[in-house]
């Protein structure tokens, strides 16, 4: 007959600490412990026994629920230290396509739309849409791209009106305009190149 790991690693080390079961029947209590704690690893059982030995404040065995709780806590701590620290992915994290790839998609599949966006000053919104969704927008989504660019323009005008001397805001606005010019120039250059280059 094999000896239970619960008997060896949990009950036996605590026999010198605890003398009375929490109920009237010690045999039934120990049998229940062996049954309910059998799912835990030997290391977890031994660590839980150490916990109870150090924290014992009476000679009465702990309640079964306390034994289960401590064994589970020890198991979780052990597994956390054994597993490599892998960062969890952010919820719904979207991998954005590189800007030059989005420009190539627009040049190959949406030349007219790309030219409208360059001329209408909403090319950055269009490129960002393609980067995120990895496809051209439909008519409704293209309208949303134009609306995003318009709302940025409105905010720029509001900031200029309310804080014309704010150098930080001025640099931010200059950065937005520079990005628009850079992306529009890159798009127009790509449209001038023959397909396949």
pLDDT along the chain (197 residues), means of 10: 86 93 90 93 95 93 94 90 65 76 90 90 92 92 92 84 74 87 90 64
pLDDT at residue number 43: 94
Q: Is the pTM of this model over 0.75?
A: no
**Which of 183, 187, 164 lies closest to 175 in space, CA to CA?**
183
22 with 29: CB under 8 angstroms? yes
Quote the CA–CA distance of 142 and 137 in Å, as a whole number: 5
Quote the CA–CA distance of 12 and 14 in Å, as a whole number: 5
pLDDT at residue number 86: 60
């Amino acid at each position: 007959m094999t000896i239970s790991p619960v008997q060896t690693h949990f009950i036996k080390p605590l026999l010198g600490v605890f003398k009375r079961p929490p109920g009237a029947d010690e045999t039934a209590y120990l049998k229940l412990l062996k049954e309910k704690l059998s799912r835990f690893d030997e290391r977890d059982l031994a660590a839980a026994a150490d916990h109870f030995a150090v924290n014992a404040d009476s000679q009465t065995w702990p309640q079964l629920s306390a034994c289960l709780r401590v064994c589970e806590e020890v198991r979780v701590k052990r597994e956390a230290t054994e597993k490599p620290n892998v960062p969890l992915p952010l919820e719904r994290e979207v991998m954005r396509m590189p800007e030059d790839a989005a420009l190539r998609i627009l040049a190959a599949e949406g030349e007219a739309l790309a030219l409208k966006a360059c001329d209408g000053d909403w090319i950055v919104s269009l490129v960002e849409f393609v980067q995120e969704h990895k496809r051209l927008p439909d008519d409704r989504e293209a309208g949303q791209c134009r609306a995003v660019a318009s709302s940025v323009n409105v905010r720029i005008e509001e900031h200029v009106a309310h804080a014309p001397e704010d150098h930080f805001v001025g640099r931010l606005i200059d950065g937005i305009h520079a990005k628009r010019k850079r992306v529009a120039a890159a798009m127009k250059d790509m449209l001038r190149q023959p397909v396949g280059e």
